[in-house]
Amino acid sequence: MCVTCGCGDNTKATITNPETGATVAIDTDKKPHYHTHTLPDGTVITHSHSHDTHPEHSQEIPEIHAKIHGTTISLEQDILGKNNLIAAENRGWFKGRNILGLNLVSSPGAGKTTLLTRTIQDLKNELPIYIIEGDQATANDAKKIQETGCQVVQINTGTGCHLEAAMVQRGLQQLNPPLNSLVIIENVGNLVCPALFDLGESAKVVILSVTEGEDKPIKYPHIFRASDIMILNKIDLLPYVEFDVATCLDYARKVNPRLRIFQVSATTGVGLANWYEWLKNSLMVNG
Instruction: Assess whether 63 and 151 both reside in one domain.
Output: no
Residue 60 lies in a domain: yes
Residue 162 lies in a domain: yes
Q: Percentage of the chain with pLDDT > 70?
A: 77
pTM (two decimals): 0.79
Instruction: Assess whether 46 and 107 both reside in one domain.
Output: no
Total structural domains in the chain?
2
Instruction: Assess whether 282 and 171 both reside in one domain.
Output: yes
Instruction: Assess whether 128 and 168 both reside in one domain.
Output: yes
What average pLDDT does the segment 199-216 reach?
Answer: 97
Dihedral sign (CA 174, 156, 104, 120): positive
pLDDT at 227: 98
What average pLDDT does the segment 25-41 reach?
Answer: 50
Instruction: Assess whether 128 and 41 both reside in one domain.
Output: no
Last residue of a domain, one of 47, 63, 78: 78
Q: Rounded CA gap, 250 and 254, in Å?
A: 6
Q: Rounded CA gap, 168 and 132, in Å?
A: 7
DSSP-assigned beta bridge partners for residue 155: 15, 134
Q: Rounded CA gap, 171 and 155, in Å?
A: 8
Instruction: Assess whether 237 and 270 both reside in one domain.
Output: yes
Q: For the segment 9-23, what is each residue's pLDDT rounded down to a tens digit?
A: 545 788 877 777 777
Residue 200 lies in a domain: yes
Instruction: Assess whether 67 and 192 both reside in one domain.
Output: no
Which residues span the domain enclosing 230?
A: 83-286
What's the CATH code of the domain at 273? 3.40.50.300
Residues 6+ apart with CB under 8 A from 128: 177, 178, 180, 181, 182
Instruction: Assess whether 237 and 258 both reside in one domain.
Output: yes
Instruction: Assess whether 94 and 73 both reside in one domain.
Output: no
pLDDT at 8: 55
Residue 113 lies in a domain: yes
Residue 17 lies in a domain: no
Residues 6+ apart with CB under 8 A from 165: 83, 84, 86, 87, 89, 90, 197, 198, 199, 200
Q: For the segment 96-136, what is each residue's pLDDT rounded down to a tens digit?
A: 999 999 999 999 999 999 999 999 999 999 999 999 999 99
Instruction: Assess whether 97 and 164 both reside in one domain.
Output: yes
Half-sphere exposure of 284 (CA within 13 A, CB side): 7
Q: Rounded CA gap, 98 and 179, in Å?
A: 6
Instruction: Assess whether 171 and 199 both reside in one domain.
Output: yes
CB 13 within 8 A of CB 155: yes
Instruction: Assess whether 182 and 42 both reside in one domain.
Output: no
Q: Residue 47: pLDDT above 80? A: no
What average pLDDT does the segment 20-40 reach?
Answer: 56
